[in-house]
Amino acid sequence: MIIGVILILFLYVFFSFVFTEQKNIHFHVPEGWPKPVYDFKQNRLTEKGFKLGSALFFDPILSRDNSISCASCHLSFTAFTHADHKLSHGINGRIGTRNSLTLINLAWNTSFMWDGGVNNLEVQAINPITNPSEMNHGLSNAVDALNASPRYRKMFYSVFKDSIITSQKLLKALAQYTSQLVSYNSKYDSVMRKEKNVSFTQNELNGYTLFKNHCASCHTEPLFTNYGFENNGLSMDTVLKDFGRMMITQDSKDAFKFKIPTLRNIEFSAPYFHDGRVNTLKDVINHYTSGIVVSASLSKQLQQPIILSEKNKKDLILFLKTLTDKYALYNQRFRYNYSETLTK
Amino acid sequence: MKKMVCLSCILFLLCISTYGQMQISFKPIFNKDSISVLKFYVSNVQILYRDGTKFKENNSFRLLDIEYIESFLIILNAPSKAIEKISFDVGIDSTTSVSGALDGDLDPIKGMYWAWHSGYINLKLEGKSKACSTISNEFHFHVGGYRSPFYALRRIDVPIVNQMGSSVAIQMNIALLLDKINLKQINNIMLPGKEAMQIADYLPQIFSNK
């Protein structure tokens, strides 16, 4: 009797080991950072899941005519945004209405898109896949295209133990990749961690003080956003007529409010603002010092003009450049072809 | 002895499998020419029996689609007894609405999901009415929303007066709903908001058991 019980227990342990050979990846939360918002319990991270997500991210198979992928508008070298494009273009060169956002530290995002209309990282990807100005593919067509691919069926099977691909599996796989695009190794981070031989220059330190006085209430450390929505005094583009957050809340108080974006890797995420209207950090700062358009919903933080000397503007930019994380931008793991190792 | 054990096991399993089944069939009432799309979610069904006991189904979401009329028949593994009241939600609750990518009837490919404005469409009703001064007299109602103050889910209570053994029919009076809506002014709803809330508010009045 006892031997029987021991045998059953042994077999149970043996088989559970065999069937769960996929190791979970531990999601690292940098010291002093808040708890991630994304619920990893609903999508246990695995190496194979990450590789599958990466393969999907770089594959134009998700677009109607096989011409563009997620990476077309979110390039790792440019902080996962679309460099040189104010507004990104989708299939057939159709132009969208907003500047593509950076895909960094998404696990902490409380909402997605410039208007915060999307409530969960997993469902965010439905938008670029289905938007007529982006991939213009029905979600079910994208799922069908994947199901028609023996390579993907194999890959999905290795991750989900099921070769029938559903939209849920597609979206969870993409989230495995995008949630792990974390950036916390900038010079700023090293200085904050008091690492040896790293310190701010005098100019950067002055920029940091200015930043804390003038910018940090919205672009709050350590993620450099408080995830709120504000009207930062940009004039309305008369062609795009974008009311921002108001389109989601139906509340006129939210007119012209947009998500406060993170400033991490801002050196490489040009052009700036929700419609990409300016190209340089200098122009961004000049907007805040002398370009604010007053309207009913203008941010409280911007009611008083920000006054900065030319030297202070330069120092502030030097500080912002300390938020560049080359380790994240040039990380092999985040690049195309990393996923290839999965099928070998 | 062994045979007895086997037999009782089989009997036990049989009992479990046939133990109570309730069939609820939804019967939409409308003018056939007037409706082209009717899809809605029925979730969290609860049955209150006349003997005071309850049957509750948590986290269950069913998409009823007139294109697939079999979806209008709901089978529950619930005891077959005299029913006092059946309650259910029309729509998807706010917790489920923020839970990421879901599957089954909640799969976004079912056409009941807003992508740019995350959330489920609780009820999709499209058709024609002479009261609409629109192209081909069409109306399109996509009723949903989980964010305050436009939370469009509605709990429906249907007192049961007419039960046929283990089956109950619930009438859904679409004709009455359309009568209540001022189609001249409201004929196109594609977003959560005041108008969607108004239609949601009519929903408890259109379900009945006669």
CATH of the domain at A44: 1.10.760.10
Residue A26, amino acid: H
DSSP A62-76: GSTTS---HHHH-BG
**Cis before B192? omega within 30:** no
* Whole-number Å distance between alpha carbons of A306 and B5: 85
B192 to chain A, any CB pair closer than 8 A? The answer is: yes
A214 three-class SS: helix
Q: Are residues A148 and A286 in the same domain?
A: no
Is residue A18 predicted with pLDDT exceeding 70? no
Q: Are residues A170 and A206 in the same domain?
A: no
Is residue A219 predicted with pLDDT exceeding 90? yes
DSSP 8-state assignment for residue B61: E
Nearest CB partner across the interface for B118, out of A117, A130, A175: A117
A-contacting residues of B 130-149, CB under 8 Å? 147
Position of tokens 């005094």?
A233
Residue A5 located in a structural domain:
no
> A171 and B117 in contact by Cβ < 8 A?
no
Residue A154 located in a structural domain:
yes
B110 to chain A, any CB pair closer than 8 A? The answer is: no
Choice between A101 and A45, residue whose per-residue pLDDT is larger: A45
Q: Are residues A177 and A214 in the same domain?
A: no
Mutate to test the interface with B, among A38, A115, A126 (most CBs of B within 10 A): A126
Percent of chain A with pLDDT over 90: 67
pLDDT on residue A344 = 41
Distance spanning both ends of chain B, measured CA to CA: 52
Contacts of A66 by beta carbon, 8 Å cutoff, 6+ apart:
A60
Is residue A95 predicted with pLDDT exceeding 80? no
Between CA A64 and CA A328, with CA A334 as vertex, the angle to 5 degrees is 130
Q: Are A285 and A226 in contact (CB under 8 A)?
A: no
Residue A338 located in a structural domain:
no
> A250 and B193 in contact by Cβ < 8 A?
yes
Nearest CB partner across the interface for B108, out of A117, A121, A139: A139
- pLDDT (tens, 9 = 90+) of chain B, 210 residues, equals 566 666 665 655 554 544 679 999 999 999 877 899 999 999 999 999 999 999 999 889 999 999 999 999 999 999 999 999 999 999 999 999 999 999 999 999 999 999 999 999 999 999 999 888 888 899 999 999 999 999 999 999 999 999 999 999 999 999 999 999 999 999 999 999 999 999 999 999 999 998
Residue A42 located in a structural domain:
yes
Q: Are residues A112 and A151 in the same domain?
A: yes
> Which tens digits make up the pLDDT trace of A287-297?
999 999 999 99
DSSP 8-state assignment for residue A113: S
pLDDT on residue B114 = 94
> Which tens digits make up the pLDDT trace of A176-205?
999 999 999 999 999 999 999 999 999 999
> A113 and B116 in contact by Cβ < 8 A?
yes
Picking from A126-130, A167-171, B81-85, which range would have the lowest pLDDT averaged per residue?
Answer: A126-130
From the list A181, A149, A184, A151, the residue with the least C-alpha distance to A54 is: A181
- A143 CB neighbours in chain B (<8 A) are 109
Q: Are residues A155 and A244 in the same domain?
A: no
Residue A2 located in a structural domain:
no
Binning pLDDT at 50, 70 and 90, where does residue A16 land? low
Is residue A2 predicted with pLDDT exceeding 50? yes
Is residue A12 predicted with pLDDT exceeding 80? no
Q: Are residues A157 and A220 in the same domain?
A: no
- B107 CB neighbours in chain A (<8 A) are 166-168
Which residues sit opposite B41 in a β-bridge?
B63
Q: Are residues A259 and A278 in the same domain?
A: yes
B28 to chain A, any CB pair closer than 8 A? The answer is: no
Residue A22 located in a structural domain:
no
CB pairs under 8 A between A and B: 68
pLDDT on residue B58 = 85
Q: Are residues A72 and A194 in the same domain?
A: no
B208 three-class SS: strand
> A42 and B99 in contact by Cβ < 8 A?
yes
Torsion on CA atoms B50, B56, B62, B64, rounded to nearest 10 = 10
Nearest CB partner across the interface for B99, out of A120, A166, A175: A120
Report the pLDDT averaged over residues A73-91.
72
pLDDT on residue A229 = 97
Q: Are residues A160 and A201 in the same domain?
A: no
Does an H or E element contain A55, and which?
helix A47-57
> B150 and A250 in contact by Cβ < 8 A?
yes
> B108 and A248 in contact by Cβ < 8 A?
no
* Whole-number Å distance between alpha carbons of A81 and A25: 26
Residue A256 located in a structural domain:
yes
User: End of a domain among A151, A182, A213?
Assistant: A182
B120 to chain A, any CB pair closer than 8 A? The answer is: no
From the list B28, B35, B75, the residue with the least C-alpha distance to B170 is: B28
Q: How many domains does chain A have?
A: 2
Q: Tell me the two tokens of residue A223.
A: 């993620």
pLDDT on residue A24 = 87
Question: What totals of helices (H) and strands (E) does chain B contain, helices first?
Answer: 4, 14
Is residue A118 predicted with pLDDT exceeding 70? yes
User: End of a domain among A166, A182, A198?
Assistant: A182
> Which tens digits make up the pLDDT trace of A311-326?
999 999 999 999 999 9
> B100 and A39 in contact by Cβ < 8 A?
yes
* Whole-number Å distance between alpha carbons of A147 and A164: 7
Q: Are residues A173 and A196 in the same domain?
A: no
Binning pLDDT at 50, 70 and 90, where does residue A343 land? very low
Which residues sit opposite B162 in a β-bridge?
none
Domain with A242 in it: 187-325
* Whole-number Å distance between alpha carbons of B208 and A232: 52
Mutate to test the interface with B, among A124, A250, A253 (most CBs of B within 10 A): A250
Closest residue in B to A170 (Cα–Cα)? B101
B151 to chain A, any CB pair closer than 8 A? The answer is: no
Q: Are residues A79 and A139 in the same domain?
A: yes
User: End of a domain among A149, A182, A215?
Assistant: A182
pLDDT on residue B3 = 66
Residue A170 C-alpha, separation from nearest chain B C-alpha, in angstroms: 9
Q: Are residues A196 and A307 in the same domain?
A: yes
ipTM computed for the complex: 0.85
B95 to chain A, any CB pair closer than 8 A? The answer is: no
Residue A104 located in a structural domain:
yes
Percent of chain A with pLDDT over 70: 88
pLDDT on residue A106 = 96
User: Residue A84, class by beta-carbon neighbours within 10 Å (0-12 exposed, 13-18 middle, 19+ buried)?
Assistant: exposed
Beta strands in A44-112 (DSSP E): none
